[in-house]
Structure 1
């Protein structure tokens, strides 16, 4: 999750005086535009239609599932990398705060919907995963004017980790455990669904005071 680049502030100077030039921590002028974490976020969004296309190749490409898994893995890694770079080098921007979670939701929801379309995921589980994102996103919009900063807790991070494992394991055809006819992929997917529901309830309860119920 991207906690990206510090906000770029416009500086103004009194009439008749030159405007101050905003500089970075090294004293050099800051370049306006997308920084590296934001570029990675946009790259992740561009990978989503490619992943969806890979799912659509199931009738023409025998290794379509490996292609889809590879694209999903690369996209998810960009999420980890852009968040690390943004925090380490203080590159947190309002753009990143907005677009990073949108990119995440597009990636995961697209994967769940396409897996359901391909018969790899139970529709009920898909509704749980996608429904959670819709509910939490709506709740986040409602609390946006409260000024309260809502950070991801351990439950949300665990939920995301389980979802990544479940998606990759299912796309790769339940490697390792398939030889023993043990449905590890389905077990992880159900576990991810449980934590998905739990994290949604926990999120709403933890932030209910930020909502103006009047």
Structure 2
């Protein structure tokens, strides 16, 4: 049989579970903000807002796992999954800044790194793909856990929860900066290697 006559590999449909979860996460961002600012100093409303945020974070874990396990990675998911993630965590960080519960300089450093690395990935895509590393995954987990604790509203909670929340936030900040610098190093290496291969082949 002539391999040239073989049917081309079909791409998975954009209408699949991982992409639906990504869309759900995007929709939950304004829902989260409305619930959070409805009564930001009421423990019940804060718990509800935290629950919405937590559900949205869990959709992020689920869609990536399902997409990889069942080979449902699509261009839609590649584009919108990181956008949904950054929109959700960005909304949480900025909201905590507006409420005066987290220092703005921490928020600015983290958000500059998050959006900067997202832009960097897109910018070097023509040279090669920059995969997520273990440090980046640890950063995401610590950011998510610290945000969940802060969103609960630390003031009326036992003091030890505040210590844990701030400990996680400082760890998240450190991982955010360190992994950001590592991604820049990776990006420079990917670009350098791609240019070297191109010159060697010309």
TM class, shorter-chain normalised?
Answer: 0.7 to 0.9
Q: Deviations over 1:94-147 (max 9, x none)?
A: 11111111110111111100111111111111111111112112211220211x
- Counterpart position of 2:166: 186
Identify which range, 84-93 or 154-163, moves more after superposition: 84-93
1:1-214 aligned at under 5 Å gives the runs 32-58=13-39, 61-146=42-127, 148-174=128-154, 178-180=158-160, 183-211=163-191
- Deviation at residue 180 of structure 1 after TM alignment: 4.9
TM-score, normalised via structure 1 length? 0.78
> How far apart are 1:183 and its partner, in Å?
2.3
Q: Where does structure 1 lack aligned partners over 5 or more consecutive residues?
A: 1-19, 25-29
State the 1:64 CA deviation.
2.1
8 A contact 2:139–2:175 mirrored in 1: yes
Do 2:28 and 2:56's aligned partners in 1 also have CA atoms closer than 8 Å? yes
The normalised TM-score by structure 2 is 0.82
SS at match of 1:207: helix
Cα distance in 2, alignment partners of residues 184 and 38 from structure 1: 34
Please identify runs of 4+ aligned residues in structure 1 that moved more than 3 A: 20-24, 59-62, 179-182
More helix by share: 2
8 Å Cα contact 2:40-2:46 kept in structure 1: no
Decide whether the 8 Å contact of 1:41 with 1:100 is kept in 2.
Answer: yes
How many aligned positions are there? 187
C-alpha distance in 1, partners of 2:8/2:119?
Answer: 39
Does the 8 A contact of 1:41 with 1:82 survive in 2?
yes
Q: Displacement, 1:174?
A: 4.6
Contact 1:45 1:106 in 2 (8 A): yes
Shift of 1:169: 1.2
CA 1:39–1:56: 2 relative to 1, 3 Å: same
Aligned to 2:198: none
Contact 1:174 1:183 in 2 (8 A): no
Q: Does the C-alpha gap of structure 1 residues 62 and 203 become closer, same or farther in structure 2, counting only changes over 3 Å?
A: same
Q: Please state whether the residue corresponding to 2:184 is helix, strand or coil.
A: helix
Unaligned runs of 5+ in 2: 1-6, 196-202
